[in-house]
Each structure stands twice: as C-alpha cells, then as structure tokens.
Amino acid sequence: MQCVILAGGLGTRIKGRGGDLPKALIPVLGKPFIVYQLEWLARQNVRRIVLSIGHRGAAIAQAVGDGSPFGVSITYCDEGENLRGTGGALRLAADRDLLDAGFFVLYGDSYLPIELAPLWHTSESGRVPTMAVMQNRSRWDRSNVVFRDGRVVLYDKSVVDTAKNTMDYIDYGVSVLPRNVITEGFSAGEVADLSTLLNRLSVDGKLKGHEIFERFYEIGSPQGLEEFEELVRNQLNHPASHQDGFTRR
C-alpha cells in the first residue's frame, strides 16, 4: 500500500507556533510532527510514501531523508514555490509516474489513530474512491459530509453558515483514490484543490464512505497542536493503555 502525504502548504494558521517552519517540521515534544505520521504509517504496513512538498520542502527532505530510520521508503514530489494546491500536487505526482493504481492520500497536518487496512478493504484495494468519515456534528470542526448507506452522498466545504449546515459527518483526513481519478479530474499544470474533485465525485454518486469512530487530530491550528501534544504525552506516559502507542527516538 502506498500513501501520498500532502505537505506542501504554507501553514499560515500556525505561524505563531511554527514560525517559518513547514507544518511537517513543527516540533511536538522534541520530535518533528511528520515523524509521528511516518511511524504510524509504518505500523500500518504502509511503507511506500510519496511526500508532496513545496514551501521549504528542502528542509523536510533534509529532516527525514529516505525514510529508512522510520521504517518507510520516501519518494519526493517537489512543487518548489509554484504551489498548485492539493489537487494540482496530486496531478503532478501522477505526471511524474509516482502514483500506484490506488493509494491513500493524507493531509500533512493530520494524525489519525486508526487502522488503515479496513479503509483499504472498503475501497476494494484502491479501485473505488473512498473517504474516511466520522459523525461529527461540528464538534471538532465544521461538518462537511452527508453520509448514508456506505456512500458519501455529499461532500461540501463551502457551507460556512453553521445555522444552515445540516451535515453531520466530517472528512476524517484520509481517503483512498485510484490514480485515473486524478488524471481524469485535473489537467496537467492546473492549480486546483482536491476538495473540488471529491465534491464532484460525491454529487455523481461515485464516492464511498468508511465510517470511523475515533476522533482525529490535526496541527493546523494552535488549539489542534495543543490537543495533539496532550495525546502524545498521554500515550508516552501510559503506553500499555494505547493500542497505537508511540515509539521513543
């Protein structure tokens, strides 16, 4: 199984904590955030990683190298400073022949304490676009998914008025996509957001959903970073009580 980590963004919401560091390198209890992601993926037997980098990408490459110290093998897809958005970054990876026929895609600021094998199974081993979703009711962030009978009936991030938002579920932060969905959905060199493609797939009835019952963590905001730091402390202090415990390095 292969995973693309989208780590090319500017991280504007977290600059107060990370300064000019890319989000992937923001330290969490002395360890760059991306190391937690890589170690988690290795524990899931997802060992082939495409790291999509852009803003200060060289610093990320210098920090984690080929991934071998963390149990994975990393290939880089560098946008440089010509950022194309999450959708455009995936199309660039496809054009450079870096994508498997089906792959996980993970946002570079997400930590997800779940097993990935069931999601891969739901996607029919990468053949069917599948989004992990969680019943949220706007607890952790604004809900953006209508999920029913195993399908994402609607994925829409554009509803900003909470009073008018009738969606109960949220994009959990990881999906499985077939490569051809990327090459057919985006043009070469296009600046585009992955959310537009996922919205289109949902409206067309082509996006499966896989329900998750554990909350997600993210470091894209100061509050999210504090909550993830607390998770790490708890798991380091009580490793036996956490199935997905962290490793010390």
In a domain, 76, yes or no: yes
What pTM value is reported for the model?
A: 0.90
Element (H, E) at 173: strand 169-178
Indicate if the pLDDT at residue 247 is higher than 50. Answer: no
In a domain, 53, yes or no: yes
* Lowest-pLDDT choice from 15-19, 37-41, 67-71, 222-226: 15-19
β-pair type (208-212, 130-135): parallel
Indicate if the pLDDT at residue 228 is higher than 90. Answer: yes
In a domain, 138, yes or no: no
What confidence category does residue 245 fall into, taking pLDDT thresholds of 50, 70 and 90? very low
- Provide the number of structural domains found in the chain: 1
Helix boundaries (H) for the chain: 15-18, 33-43, 57-64, 85-95, 117-122, 179-185, 194-203, 222-237
In a domain, 167, yes or no: no
* Local structure of 87: helix, strand or coil: helix
In a domain, 156, yes or no: no
Share of the chain above pLDDT 70, in %: 89
* Local structure of 161: helix, strand or coil: coil
In a domain, 55, yes or no: yes
| CATH number assigned to the domain comprising residue 220 | 3.90.550.10
Question: Residue 127: which domain range?
Answer: 2-131+173-241
b vs e for 173-202, b when ≥16 Cβ sit within 10 Å of the residue's Cβ? bbbbbbbebbeebbeeeeebbbbbbbbebb
In a domain, 193, yes or no: yes
